[in-house]
Chains A and B, each alone.
Chain A
């Protein structure tokens, strides 16, 4: 009782005295931002002491009370990374690097971004020789609720449960705060939400390797906790090897495991049948030259599909959507296969 009264009193006093609690810890997007408390303000509002949640010390309550971010986080990120790139050079809305000075670690002057874009992208999915800016035909739909996380879960679970649906945010894949002691490629999360089976809000950022169960799914999760090394290459444009397939040598093969942190059953060693009704036979995705990003882009693509490619049904049986159903493939039709399997 007394303790309760005391803390309430202290709380009230603090409310009067402190305009804002002091924050320490690492700055946002570490590596590009310095470790100053000032930096938090770019994304978190200078609050005016509304609500005791501010003092509770509970991160979740704190977040609700002070994070300015409205329902769609994309608005915050687009305040800097949007089409006018008013606070960054990587314009992920248009999928283009908005600077003409060379030598930056984030892009090649005026060229398309590796991830493609969320609204438009500057790509060459038809190998014309000239990348052109066009609206994307598919993308990771950030902010849209209830999307199916294809392939999430272990063998045999199908695609029916509501636990396999999730709302993607930029921070589902990226950690906007960066990492205190490691340089992670594109500040990609090393603690994926694993949204389907676990509540996306609850688990995020709070899992440690020590508490991981030992079944197959979770062994994978444990491995994901090791960092993807940051190998920022001097060149940024999507390059192709002499054989013509996409060069992803800048990435470790663990990027496949990373994507599989959500799309669990797409990670395949080629020793099929897998026993899963939906993902019975799968192309190998576990080699350096066969990572997910050899065939897919991470954000959005402008590729278009022909008659057969556009007809391929979704894993849950939904019919294919035609020419614009590009499933993040970075080349039109099934051009992604051709470099390795040319016509006989």
Chain B
């Protein structure tokens, strides 16, 4: 009953309401639009000013680290290269291949092919050289994942010796190798015991730590390990997507997480740590000037052009500020410089 009476009144009210509403909506829309323009403007401003800002910084020593390296040129003639290392004087580049003939190839600084070699008496399908390192005497260390071995060659590629598994162990699975301060730093990935091993140049085991897992101080396919001047260890913990930092005794300090697939590592004389992220298609650069270390910047992106990577894997740095990076799926070595 009362509904009938109130009917028209109500519609009148709702009419004015509607008008009010429409006005309000207009205002709200306008405000929203303004906000939108503002945000978009800010964003555009941010995007535009971001780069010039950093480039305009004065080259004070502390800030020098903010400068990114630039692309120089590429060395071709390698088949899906993985590992890379330099001779002590920086004149020769050693690279391992993971496809084709699977050789260790040597180039000079200008990219001229010098020679190639492999483990004697093996066919390509029977070998898998992965990482390579050179000591201060010019001896070349190569891990072979397929042959479960760490080989030592002279600078010309003649086989000198084969590292045997640690005492009391039947076999091992060396994966990564780096030589830092006359120490051979090896990552080992036998099932359940993914770990870091430190040898002296005679092959005596000095330190060993870690096992397979995801907890702090555990590793899952660690691909590389390097040490800084204080003796701290930096381990690229591949499948765990993190960089672990451990003290000189191998005790866990902290980890940088959220990396994609960290692989090769190198430290230069400017206290910069370089980490190759295979799946981010980038090299990430950190400053070791303070602890915990600080991320500086990253360079590279996916692609086939100059300075672009497809699954980069390892890096080597020389004393002149040159960087050599294996660009696996582009079948080349990229040379960058500061």
The closest CB in chain A to the CB of B172 belongs to: A100
Contacts of B234 in A (CB 8 A): none
The closest CB in chain A to the CB of B239 belongs to: A87
Given known contacts A39-B241, A84-B98, A1 and B302 CB-to-CB distance under 8 angstroms: no
Given known contacts A2-B32, A16-B39, A99 and B190 CB-to-CB distance under 8 angstroms: yes
Please determine whether A86 and B190 come into contact, CB atoms closer than 8 angstroms. no
B310 at interface by CB-CB < 8 Å: yes
The closest CB in chain A to the CB of B170 belongs to: A100
Given known contacts A41-B259, A79-B311, A134-B125, A5 and B98 CB-to-CB distance under 8 angstroms: no
CA distance A16 to B41 in the complex (A): 12
Q: Identify whether the interface residues of B are mostly helix, strand, loop, or mixed.
A: loop
| Mask of A91-134 contacts with B, CB within 8 angstroms, 1/0 | 10010101111011000000000000001100000000000011
A75 at interface by CB-CB < 8 Å: yes
A60 at interface by CB-CB < 8 Å: no
Please determine whether B221 and A87 come into contact, CB atoms closer than 8 angstroms. yes
Which of the segments A6-14, A198-206, A221-229, A303-311 contacts the partner chain? A6-14
B148 at interface by CB-CB < 8 Å: yes
B67 at interface by CB-CB < 8 Å: no
CA distance A255 to B287 in the complex (A): 53
Please determine whether B99 and A83 come into contact, CB atoms closer than 8 angstroms. yes
Please determine whether A83 and B146 come into contact, CB atoms closer than 8 angstroms. yes
| Mask of B165-199 contacts with A, CB within 8 angstroms, 1/0 | 00000110101000000000000011111000000
CB distance from A45 to the nearest CB of B (A): 6
A209 at interface by CB-CB < 8 Å: no
Please determine whether B221 and A88 come into contact, CB atoms closer than 8 angstroms. yes
Contacts of B214 in A (CB 8 A): 34
CA distance A134 to B102 in the complex (A): 14
CA distance A300 to B140 in the complex (A): 35
Interface residues of B in 234-291 (CB under 8 A from A): 238-241, 257-261, 263, 278-281
A42 at interface by CB-CB < 8 Å: yes
Pick the contact of B263 from A38, A86, A119 — CB < 8 Å?
Answer: A86
CA distance A98 to B238 in the complex (A): 17
Contacts of A34 in B (CB 8 A): 214
A58 at interface by CB-CB < 8 Å: no
Please determine whether A38 and B241 come into contact, CB atoms closer than 8 angstroms. yes
Pick the contact of B239 from A80, A119, A135 — CB < 8 Å?
Answer: A80
In the complex, how many residue pairs between chain A and chain B have their CB atoms under 8 Å apart? 136
Contacts of B146 in A (CB 8 A): 83-84, 91, 94, 96, 98
CB distance from A40 to the nearest CB of B (A): 9
Contacts of A103 in B (CB 8 A): 191
A70 at interface by CB-CB < 8 Å: yes
Given known contacts A2-B29, A96-B146, A42 and B223 CB-to-CB distance under 8 angstroms: no
Please determine whether A12 and B36 come into contact, CB atoms closer than 8 angstroms. yes
Contacts of B36 in A (CB 8 A): 5, 8-9, 12
Please determine whether B29 and A70 come into contact, CB atoms closer than 8 angstroms. no
CB distance from B300 to the nearest CB of A (A): 12
CA distance A253 to B279 in the complex (A): 38
Please determine whether B302 and A38 come into contact, CB atoms closer than 8 angstroms. no
Contacts of A85 in B (CB 8 A): 128, 145
CA distance A45 to B261 in the complex (A): 9
Contacts of A80 in B (CB 8 A): 221, 239, 261
A82 at interface by CB-CB < 8 Å: yes
Contacts of A38 in B (CB 8 A): 240-241, 257-258
B82 at interface by CB-CB < 8 Å: yes
B319 at interface by CB-CB < 8 Å: no
The closest CB in chain A to the CB of B99 belongs to: A83
Please determine whether B221 and A12 come into contact, CB atoms closer than 8 angstroms. no
B108 at interface by CB-CB < 8 Å: no
B295 at interface by CB-CB < 8 Å: no
CA distance A6 to B39 in the complex (A): 13
Please determine whether A13 and B279 come into contact, CB atoms closer than 8 angstroms. no
CB distance from A145 to the nearest CB of B (A): 18
Pick the contact of A9 from B35, B238, B241 — CB < 8 Å?
Answer: B35
The closest CB in chain B to the CB of A19 belongs to: B258
Contacts of B72 in A (CB 8 A): none
Pick the contact of B191 from A16, A39, A101 — CB < 8 Å?
Answer: A101
The 7 closest A-B pairs by CB, nearest first: A133-B125, A101-B191, A120-B125, A84-B130, A41-B260, A100-B171, A87-B221
Q: List 28 A-B contacts (CB under 8 A).
A: A2-B28, A5-B33, A9-B39, A12-B40, A38-B240, A41-B258, A42-B279, A45-B260, A68-B279, A68-B281, A75-B328, A80-B221, A83-B99, A83-B146, A84-B82, A85-B128, A86-B130, A86-B175, A86-B263, A87-B221, A87-B223, A88-B221, A99-B191, A100-B190, A101-B191, A119-B99, A134-B125, A135-B125
User: Which of B's residues lie within 8 Å of A, judged by CB?
Assistant: 25, 28-29, 32-33, 35-36, 39-40, 43, 82, 98-99, 102, 123, 125-126, 128-130, 145-146, 148, 170-171, 173, 175, 189-193, 214, 221, 223, 238-241, 257-261, 263, 278-281, 302, 310-311, 313, 328-329
